[in-house]
Structure 1
C-alpha cells in the first residue's frame, strides 16, 4: 500500500467512525428529550456510517489475508480506536433509547 493510500484509508475510517459516534450520541440526546423518532433516525444513520467504516476495514483485512501486508502506523491505530468507540457508542445508544422509552411511558 502506497503511503498516501494507507493514510487515506485510515482517515476514511476515522471520518466514518467519528460520524457514527456523533450520531449515536445525538440519538441518546434526542431520546432523553423524548424525541424517539429522531433518535431512531440518528441511530439508523449511525449504523450506516458504521457500515462504511467496516467496509473499509474489511477491505484492509482481505488485503492482508491475500498476502498484501498492511503496514501498521499510528494513524491506523488511531482509526481503529475510533472504530471501537463508535461501535460501543452505537451499542450504548441502543440501550439508552430503550431505557428512555420505558421511562417515558
Structure 2
C-alpha cells in the first residue's frame, strides 16, 4: 500500500510540474518571449512523459494481474495527469496566438 501512495505522489509531482511549466510558457508567450515559451513547453512535455510512464506502468501491472488499491490520492493523481495534458495543449495554442498577435501589433519604439 505504501508503494501505491509513493507512485501516486510521483504522478502528482510530475503532472503538477508539467502543468506549472505550461502556465509559465503562456506567461512567457504573453511577453513575446517565444524561445522561453517553447523551452518551457519542452520541459513540460518531459515531465508529462514521466507522469504518463507511471500511469502506463500501473495499467500494465493491472493487465498482468497485479491489483492496485484505488484510493482518493490515486484518483487525484489521475486528475493531475489529465489536467497537465490539457494544459500543455492549451500552452501550445496560446503561444501560437501570441505569435500571430505579435505580427499584427504595431512595433513599440524604444
For normalisation by structure 1, the TM-score amounts to 0.97
1:53-72 mapped onto 2 (5 Å cutoff): 53-72=51-70
The SS at the match of 1:93 is helix
The SS at the match of 2:67 is coil
Alignment pair present for 1:14 and 2:2: no
In angstroms, what is the RMSD of aligned CA positions? 0.5
For normalisation by structure 2, the TM-score amounts to 0.92
User: Which residue does the alignment assign to 1:96?
Assistant: 94
User: Which residue does the alignment assign to 2:108?
Assistant: none
The SS at the match of 2:93 is helix
- Report the Cα offset of residue 91 of structure 1: 0.6
Q: Which runs of 4+ in 1 moved over 6 A?
A: none
| Number of positions where the alignment pairs a residue of Structure 1 with one of Structure 2 | 103
The SS at the match of 1:70 is coil
How far apart, in 1, do the equivalents of 2:91 and 2:34 lie?
Answer: 12
User: Which residue does the alignment assign to 1:52?
Assistant: 50
Structure showing greater radius of gyration is 2
Q: Gapped runs of 5+ residues in structure 1?
A: none
How far apart, in 2, do the equivalents of 1:43 and 1:98 lie?
Answer: 12
Q: Gapped runs of 5+ residues in structure 2?
A: 104-110
- Report the Cα offset of residue 71 of structure 1: 1.3
How far apart, in 1, do the equivalents of 2:32 and 2:77 lie?
Answer: 33
